[in-house]
A and B are shown apart, each in its own frame.
Chain A
């Protein structure tokens, strides 16, 4: 019970600091039913090795990473096709919503963790490019009345570096090399090379220095991490002060009718789709089970706050099927 008391105290402290919280429906009922994530992991500690969940299965923590790696190794080839089939293309809208909420400006550095096949990174680069174009157009329109900046950077008063605004870059980091391979192939065929790098790394131990990135995103990847709190701490570490943490993840559907339909669809249709398209029933069974084991919107928000982020908010997409969490490092 100590864990839940700790959580309540933290919540009280945070509320007293006047943070903005977005209210969610029925969180009291929901949190009463399930164990807090930290306690869930600790039951059965007798032998000293901790256990966690792999879908509805219970496995030692050391094994989970291996099993998840195997799952994504198997599905990498059909990952994008399956995403389109399972979500009927709606996952593209979710990812677009993430980018709109992010609203990155030219010069921003993105780290996309568990970025696998590169969906977020590609969208980021395109968004920044269109922002750059918009800025250029605006600059061209205002050329008639040059601002002090235009005058100082014109040929008369030549500036030291011709470099102009810093180029934005996206780093795609994934623990699974197969997924990165698929992403690289996509980038090559789309001709996207500039500003994109692919790094193999573990979300719980990122191979980057402190204070490197403006935005850290993780889309549909954090529920596969063995120690989510560790991944959140790493996110805090690699972000610059003022940097933003954004997470897209499957969450709890608020509407009970929709929830039942969603469950029926998830458990009946998705593994069958996985068998037909990717010849892999078990990986997609794991996927739908892992969604159920992930904490709901409020609990995850608390976890993000625990890691040290401020102004943590979440937005429900598609009735709560997906939640977009956002926090800042100050």
Chain B
């Protein structure tokens, strides 16, 4: 029996017998050149894609929202919330990227920001104030890595899945551009910026509920200076997903900010010395 017959028989048999299971999108499976029955072939539109019905997406949205509120360190739940609620926002983002020449290049070339694709030595040798050097400094100070982003699972369009993935990978760069550390106040400020820029419901939810965990002085700082700055800049800045950061490591960060129409932050926040908020 060929693999295609097997794969068809799997879905057809399950669809006939169990009418309530999600119907598979009819996609060609990717065959591996070696043995017929390895699990390197994936079903769905991209590696890691899990097919879900609208009911399941709704369930996931509610469940992940509750889980993320209950435990904000469940980044995977925040990711799932973003994927299941962000369909319209992702489409808007894609349109924005298509209308920008650099954004269109990104959509065609599909660059990924991860440790394996970054030349860390070269970036460390760049002058201070350059994007690459500041990004590296941000990663070191805040003890984060670009590889910790969850893969996209529940977006049912391959290009939109890439847009989502790009949004996640650009998040740290956004921290660098905005000069925000990864403590709670910094994260909330970035969320406000992202909510204004992208319109993703997950960002809006994070922007609204994040401040609940801030103490009084930080709340004041957020509402008086940081918050309005983040919102204004989010609205007027160029779409941050449309920037080909991988080719701009040596660019001075102030120049980049000017190009993107982002003002320098009104308050300088320092990176947390320990990972507590």
- Give min CB distance, B188 to chain A, whole Å: 24
* B60 & A275 in contact (Cβ 8 Å cutoff): yes
- Give min CB distance, A35 to chain B, whole Å: 11
| Smallest Cβ-Cβ distance to B59: which chain A residue | A272
The answer, among B21, B56, B77, for a CB contact under 8 Å with A272, is B56
| Smallest Cβ-Cβ distance to B63: which chain A residue | A276
Which chain B residues border A271 with CB–CB below 8 Å? 56
Which chain B residues border A56 with CB–CB below 8 Å? 10, 13-14
**Interface status of A267 (Cβ within 8 A of chain B):** yes
Looking at the complex, which of A57-65, A198-206, A225-233, A234-242 is the stretch in contact with chain B? A57-65
* A263 & B18 in contact (Cβ 8 Å cutoff): yes
CA–CA, A272 and B59, complex, Å: 7
Size class of the B contact interface (CB-based, 8 Å):
20 to 34
**Interface status of A41 (Cβ within 8 A of chain B):** no
The answer, among A63, A268, A282, for a CB contact under 8 Å with B50, is A282
**Interface status of B76 (Cβ within 8 A of chain A):** yes
Main secondary structure, interface of A, reads helix
- Give min CB distance, B83 to chain A, whole Å: 11
CA–CA, A227 and B79, complex, Å: 39
* A44 & B80 in contact (Cβ 8 Å cutoff): no
**Interface status of B73 (Cβ within 8 A of chain A):** no
Which chain B residues border A263 with CB–CB below 8 Å? 18-21
**Interface status of A281 (Cβ within 8 A of chain B):** yes
**Interface status of B109 (Cβ within 8 A of chain A):** no
* B39 & A57 in contact (Cβ 8 Å cutoff): yes
**Interface status of A292 (Cβ within 8 A of chain B):** yes
Query: Do A268 and B37 contact each other (CB < 8 Å), given the known contacts A276-B63, A276-B64?
Result: no
Which chain A residues border B59 with CB–CB below 8 Å? 268-269, 272
* B20 & A276 in contact (Cβ 8 Å cutoff): no
Q: Mark A54-86, 1 if CB is under 8 A from B, else 0.
A: 001111100100010000000000000000000
* B20 & A267 in contact (Cβ 8 Å cutoff): yes
Which chain B residues border A15 with CB–CB below 8 Å? none
CA–CA, A202 and B166, complex, Å: 44
CA–CA, A56 and B24, complex, Å: 13
Max chain B C-beta neighbours (<10 A), residue from A43, A67, A269, A272: A272
**Interface status of A173 (Cβ within 8 A of chain B):** no
**Interface status of A279 (Cβ within 8 A of chain B):** yes
* A260 & B37 in contact (Cβ 8 Å cutoff): no
CA–CA, A281 and B1, complex, Å: 29
**Interface hits, B62-79 → A, CB 8 Å:** 63-64, 66-67, 74, 76-77
**Interface status of B32 (Cβ within 8 A of chain A):** no
Main secondary structure, interface of B, reads helix
Q: Mark B148-164, 1 if CB is under 8 A from A, else 0.
A: 00000100000000000
Which chain A residues border B52 with CB–CB below 8 Å? 272
Max chain B C-beta neighbours (<10 A), residue from A51, A59, A271, A275: A275
**Interface status of B209 (Cβ within 8 A of chain A):** no
**Interface status of A273 (Cβ within 8 A of chain B):** yes
- Give min CB distance, A170 to chain B, whole Å: 35
* A275 & B10 in contact (Cβ 8 Å cutoff): no
The answer, among B1, B13, B37, B55, for a CB contact under 8 Å with A60, is B37
Which chain B residues border A260 with CB–CB below 8 Å? 19-20
- Give min CB distance, A214 to chain B, whole Å: 40
Which chain B residues border A97 with CB–CB below 8 Å? none
Q: Mark A36-49, 1 if CB is under 8 A from B, else 0.
A: 00000001100000
The answer, among A43, A57, A59, A268, for a CB contact under 8 Å with B53, is A268
**Interface hits, A272-312 → B, CB 8 Å:** 272-273, 275-277, 279, 281-282, 289, 292
CA–CA, A43 and B56, complex, Å: 34
**Interface status of A90 (Cβ within 8 A of chain B):** no
CA–CA, A275 and B67, complex, Å: 11
Interface of B toward A, CB cutoff 8 Å: 1, 6, 10, 13-14, 17-22, 37, 39, 50, 52-53, 55-56, 59-60, 63-64, 66-67, 74, 76-77, 80, 153
- 19 sampled A-B residue pairs with Cβ under 8 A: A43-B1, A44-B1, A56-B14, A57-B39, A58-B6, A58-B10, A59-B39, A60-B37, A67-B39, A260-B19, A264-B20, A267-B22, A272-B59, A272-B60, A273-B63, A275-B60, A279-B74, A279-B77, A292-B14
Known: A44-B1, A59-B37, A281-B153; 12 extra A-B contacts, CB below 8 A, are A57-B10, A58-B10, A263-B18, A268-B20, A268-B56, A271-B56, A272-B59, A276-B63, A277-B67, A279-B74, A292-B14, A292-B18
